Amino acid sequence: MQLSDLTRKFCNENILFSVLLELTYRCNLDCTFCYNDRSLKGTPFRFEHYKKLMEDLLQMGTLNISLSGGEPLAHPDFFRIGALAREMGFVTRVKTNGHALRSRLLERLKKEVDPYNLDLSLHGASAAVHDRQTQVPGSFERLMQNCAEMKAIGMRFRFNMPMTRWNENEISEVFDIVDLFETSINIDPVITSRDNGDKAPLSLSSSEAGMMKLSDLMGKRRKAQALKYGVSENTGNDIVIPQKKHCGSGSSTVTVDPYGNVYPCVQLRRAAGNLHKQSIRQIWEGSEVLDEVRELTVRVKEWTAEQGESCQKIGFCPGTALHETGSATKLYPQAEMRVTILDKKSVREEV
């Protein structure tokens, strides 16, 4: 059996496979479109709370832990938490802006946490654009220097880039950076409102032309990679487990905020419980919110199928839909734009 089949099985059977821990909303950068609600209040989660949580997750068979933020390194117990995750045998990812990760701190991270991967935030291919988005002069140059250092010591990393109106004209050059470091990138073309409902970041959403360009470039890269590495074919003997749900939100994943609130995923911010009051197992097995979300993801899968092929290909997010439109089965503006682009491309290919 392949891991991809197994993850579908985990999703179908509600097995908690991956947990995202938002350690803190503090950050050393100040990205214009950051979605975190920095006004959120509560009792902060400390090392002893994370220790108890990880012990419970170990019992539940969870494998993946992502340390996120804000900037996770800004949490006072980051290294203790990361080292404990390593000791307990979790596959640990760190979602970081990479600004502080150099020399001794970088070596310490490699030695004590040994993450499976770093997800580094990249916001453009030039200082002018990247620094404009982070609002910290010099942050682009420093990230590039830090990446070179990471590469030199064998730290595995890839890039994450939210696509905006400001960086959409640099996508081609962004791919050059990705190739320079021989890594990969996840470009998210959807900018969302802040978690507190503030819609200001939406003004930075990428344009239809930008999304079209991204779609063309991605297509070309996929073709080039298929020629380079060959495309694996299903032998016909492989077991393929069908996924009953649209995504793993609340079915194989949860997100925990800095105050112990548990959400189905990073986008769907309906609190299923609080870890100061209940254990993760109690929340996982007893939360009505999680039950509702699990049913919802089944309905969303059926709904996207009804909308057609383009809707199934755009990576529709029910959490974003709920946040932006009030319904998990309604196209939000950026999803609508992407469906239109795919439909146009499909017509173009037919012609």
What is the binding site for another protein (CB under 8 A)? 1-3, 6, 9-10, 13, 15, 17, 61-63, 89-91, 114, 116-117, 156
Kindly tell me which of 84 and 321 has the beta carbon lying closer to another protein. Answer: 84
CA angle 188, 22, 99 (to 5 degrees): 70
Of 82 and 201, which has the nearer Cβ to another protein? Answer: 82
CB of 93 to another protein, least distance (A): 11
Shortest distance, CB of residue 90 to another protein, whole angstroms?
Answer: 7
Question: Closest approach of Cβ 89 to another protein, in Å?
Answer: 5
| CA nearest to 12, candidates 270, 247, 284, 266 | 247
Minimum separation from the CB atom of position 154 to another protein (A): 9
Cα–Cα dist 207/201, whole Å: 14
Chain centroid to Cα 13, Å, comes to 22
Sign of CA dihedral 138, 139, 145, 146: positive
In the complex with another protein, the residue whose CB is nearer, 40 or 153, is: 153
Nearest distance in Å: CB 101, another protein: 18
Q: How many CB atoms lie within 10 A of CB 30?
A: 11
Preceding omega of 250 cis (within 30 degrees of 0)? no
Q: Please give the single-letter amino acid code of residue 167.
A: N
Tokens of 250: 């609340």
What is the separation of C-alpha 320 from the centre of its chain, rounded to a whole number of angstroms? 13
Which of residues 15 and 204 has its CB atom nearest to another protein in the complex? 15
State in angstroms the smallest separation of the CB of 3 from another protein: 4
- List Cβ neighbours of 245 (8 Å cut-off, separation of 6 or more): 11, 12, 251, 294, 297, 298, 300, 301
Please, which residue, 160 or 215, has the CB nearer to another protein? 160
Measured from the CB atom, the residue of 5 and 291 that comes closer to another protein is 5
